[in-house]
Amino acid sequence: MGMKGKVIQIMPAPSNLYATYNMTKEEHLNVLCLALTDQGEILVMDMDDDGFIEESRKAECFKQFKWKIGS
């Protein structure tokens, strides 16, 4: 699961898409954006604690993506 190719387009992520991480407790963080690579891969991106934007699945504590339905 690593990035292949270079990012050629960045799109805002749906506001109800969350990345779930197993840290000291389970945390749900909004996905920042979706990135399309020149290889046709779509990457789900978020921002780490240091402000770096990276692929969500790269974090060791990543668990899954979830859609929040309703309010």
Residue extents of the structural domains in the chain: 7-67
Q: Between 34 and 53, whose confidence is greater? A: 34
Which residue from 52, 51, 71, 48 is spatially nearest to 61, judged by alpha carbons? 48
- pLDDT by residue (tens digit) across 19-46? 999 988 888 888 999 999 999 999 999 8
Exposed / middle / buried, residue 70 (Cβ in 10 Å: 0-12, 13-18, 19+): exposed
* pLDDT above 70: residue 68: yes
Read off the pLDDT band of 2 (50, 70, 90).
low
Give Cα separations from 1 to 55, 64, 69 (angstroms): 9, 13, 27
* pLDDT above 80: residue 63: yes
Full-model pTM: 0.76
Other CB atoms within 10 Å distance of the CB of residue 38: 11
